[in-house]
Structure 1
């Protein structure tokens, strides 16, 4: 996951609508089911998908009252904690 990318996607959600991201996720997840993809292509899709989901989570926290900086920090702490387990 890349914070600058999550921040950029979060700005898109704020300026537009989260529905665009959710629909994009549906398409990308559908693409991962295609058997002709290489491991590298699957890894790339997975990285994009995780960044999109991360941006949605950050925006939820912002809507609940956290600043974007705090929301990003809290999100990355949760990610790091799950990686460490």
Structure 2
């Protein structure tokens, strides 16, 4: 089960929170922030508890194309980089 909330701190800053509970594991809490540098560039970072995992990323948006790069750190697995491409057809 997952439950999340989003709060606009300002026009350019977004705060996210989430709790996730799997039947066989303790609950996981996540906090994240997204900051819009300009209309094309976004910075993101987040924390996850109780295992204290952290993530950071950057997003680029131009018209219908979105490119996101992120990496998170897991205490056992280390760094896991991710890249996503998203193109919206209207």
Q: Same fold (TM over 0.5)?
A: no
Give the TM-score taking structure 2 as reference length: 0.26
Higher helix share: 1
Higher strand share: 2
Give the TM-score taking structure 1 as reference length: 0.26
Higher RCO by CA contacts (8 Å cutoff, separation 6 or greater): 1
Larger-Rg structure? 2
